[in-house]
């Protein structure tokens, strides 16, 4: 049988991976999904191959997903023991994951039902992972939102001289002022939400980490950024992710039952003011040197300037709520 290889560009990792696979199994199809992630079809079924930087990291992910299922959260993938030992290719350890066949219509935050279901899924994830904190606490980092944001804000300030070529100074001034204000107010809080029970945080609740399968069930995937912290951290990130799709409306945000109690907390409101998405994306653009990519720049300008006045109105709404 001929093997079909769908390779997006020159990928030495994929070619070496394929040669290793052919030694043990009959490969029918290999397709690169993204960096270090591949779709694999063999006679026994369809799988995902994912590369990790160390065997320890792969073992952690395997242990965590198994424990997650045992704790009652079934809407994710499992690792499949397709090989006796992880494949070691180009300094990466590859594990085999269960393939979740997606529905024809992908999950996206622009869909009202998806926004609601995504939030419900995170709540269920937290309910399960609060049972796993003690088991994984020594193997996972503790997440500190304020430290991370101070670093992101400081890097954005360092990048200002370059950003002036893309963003007018009056917009930059406002973006810096919002961040400075939010960090100063959050720094006054010795402990943010101290009454919450710690959970294992997902850490990246972007829409592409949710998959709706062919039976319309919603799954949460990709646990590379898991850490120990308080639930509000994931929920805050989720709120930031969906705000552009609800026209930056504080009223719409309060319509989510799971967020209502947080919208009464000063710390959560100040955190919503912090323009973390703008800082993150511009810092990344300069770090990865993608400023010659017109599509990338258009996206960043839409995020920053295209949504600026909606975001400004939202911040004014938050200011009124803080009075």
The whole-chain average pLDDT of the chain stands at 91
Q: Are 193 and 309 members of one domain?
A: yes
Q: Are 182 and 87 members of one domain?
A: no
- Torsion angle (degrees, nearest 10) of CA 86, 92, 96, 98: 150
Q: Are 171 and 285 members of one domain?
A: yes
Q: Are 272 and 312 members of one domain?
A: yes
- DSSP class of residue 79 equals B
Pairing of the two strands 218-220 and 45-52: unpaired
Kindly state the average pLDDT of the residues 84-110: 92
Which of 1-5, 42-46, 215-219, 264-268 shows the lowest mean pLDDT across its residues? 1-5
What does the pLDDT look like over 67-83, one tens digit per residue? 999 999 999 999 999 88
Q: Are 155 and 120 members of one domain?
A: yes
Higher pLDDT, 43 or 46: 46
pLDDT band for position 24 (50/70/90)? low
pLDDT at 16 over 90: no
Higher pLDDT, 44 or 38: 38
Q: Tokens at residue 121, please?
A: 């899924």
What does the pLDDT look like over 215-262, one tens digit per residue? 999 999 999 999 999 999 999 999 999 999 999 999 999 999 999 999
Indicate the residue among 74, 98, 122 that finishes a domain: 98
pLDDT of residue 8: 54
Indicate the residue among 98, 127, 161 that finishes a domain: 98
What is this structure's pTM?
A: 0.91
CB-based contact 41:28 (threshold 8 Å): yes
Point out which residues pair with 220 in neighbouring strands: 210
pLDDT at 7 over 70: no
Report the alpha-carbon distance of residue 312 to residue 173 in Å, rounded: 13
Is 303 within a domain? yes
What does the pLDDT look like over 276-322, one tens digit per residue? 999 999 999 999 999 999 999 999 999 999 999 999 999 999 999 99
Q: Are 66 and 133 members of one domain?
A: no
DSSP track, 227-248: EEE-THHHHHHHHHHHGGGGTT
pLDDT at 1 over 80: no
Contacts 24+ apart (CB under 8 A), 26-34: 26/1, 27/3, 28/1, 28/3, 28/4, 29/3, 29/4, 29/5, 30/3, 30/4, 30/5, 30/6, 31/5, 31/6, 32/6, 32/7, 32/8
- Residue 49 is part of a domain; what is its CATH number? 3.30.200.20
Q: Measure Cα distances from 111 to 107, 207, 236, 287, 299 in Å.
A: 8, 11, 19, 32, 20
Report the alpha-carbon distance of residue 81 to residue 98 in Å, rounded: 10
- Residue 137 is part of a domain; what is its CATH number? 3.90.1200.10
Q: Are 132 and 85 members of one domain?
A: no
Is 296 within a domain? yes
Half-sphere exposure of 304 (CA within 13 A, CB side): 25
pLDDT at 148 over 50: yes
Scanning the structure block, which residue is given the tokens 């279901």? 117
**Coil vs helix vs strand at 190:** coil
Q: Are 205 and 282 members of one domain?
A: yes
The number of distinct structural domains making up the chain is 2
Q: Are 69 and 201 members of one domain?
A: no
Is 48 within a domain? yes
Q: What are the two backbone dihedrals, phi and then psi, of residue 165, each rounded to the nearest 5 degrees?
A: -75, -15
What does the pLDDT look like over 178-212, one tens digit per residue? 999 999 999 886 556 657 899 999 999 999 999 99
4-6: strand order across its sheet: 4-6, 27-34, 37-42, 45-52, 92-98, 87-89
Nearest to 167 by CA among 31, 246, 279: 279
Q: Which domain holds residue 281?
A: 112-322
């Amino acid at each position: 049988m001929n093997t079909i290889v769908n390779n997006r560009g020159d990928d030495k990792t994929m070619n070496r991976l394929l040669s290793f696979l052919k030694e043990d199994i009959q490969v029918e199809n290999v397709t690169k999904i993204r960096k270090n992630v591949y779709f694999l079809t063999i006679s026994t079924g369809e799988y995902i191959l994912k590369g990790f930087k160390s065997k320890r990291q792969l073992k952690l992910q395997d242990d965590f997903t198994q424990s997650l299922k045992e704790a009652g959260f079934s809407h994710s993938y499992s690792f499949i023991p397709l090989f006796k030992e992880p494949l070691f290719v180009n300094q990466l350890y590859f594990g085999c994951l269960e393939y979740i066949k997606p529905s024809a219509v992908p999950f996206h935050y622009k869909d009202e039902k998806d926004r609601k279901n995504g939030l419900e899924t995170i709540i269920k994830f937290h309910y399960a992972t609060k049972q796993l904190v003690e088991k994984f606490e020594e193997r996972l980092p503790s997440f500190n939102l304020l430290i991370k944001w101070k670093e992101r804000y400081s890097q954005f300030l360092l990048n200002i001289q370059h950003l002036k070529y893309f963003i007018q100074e009056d917009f930059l001034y406002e973006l810096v002022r919002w961040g400075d204000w939010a960090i100063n107010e959050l720094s006054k809080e010795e402990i943010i939400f101290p009454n919450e029970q710690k959970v294992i945080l997902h850490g990246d609740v972007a829409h592409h980490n949710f998959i709706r399968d062919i039976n319309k069930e919603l799954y949460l995937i990709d646990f590379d950024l898991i850490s120990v912290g308080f639930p509000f951290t994931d929920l805050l990130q989720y709120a930031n992710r969906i705000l552009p799709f609800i026209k930056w409306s504080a009223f719409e945000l309060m319509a989510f039952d799971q967020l209502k109690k947080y919208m009464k907390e000063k710390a959560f409101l100040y955190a919503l003011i912090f323009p973390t998405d703008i800082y993150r994306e511009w810092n990344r653009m300069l770090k990865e040197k993608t400023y010659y990519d017109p599509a990338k720049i258009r996206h960043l300008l839409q995020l920053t300037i295209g949504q600026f006045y909606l975001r400004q109105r939202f911040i004014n709404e938050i200011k009124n709520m803080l009075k």
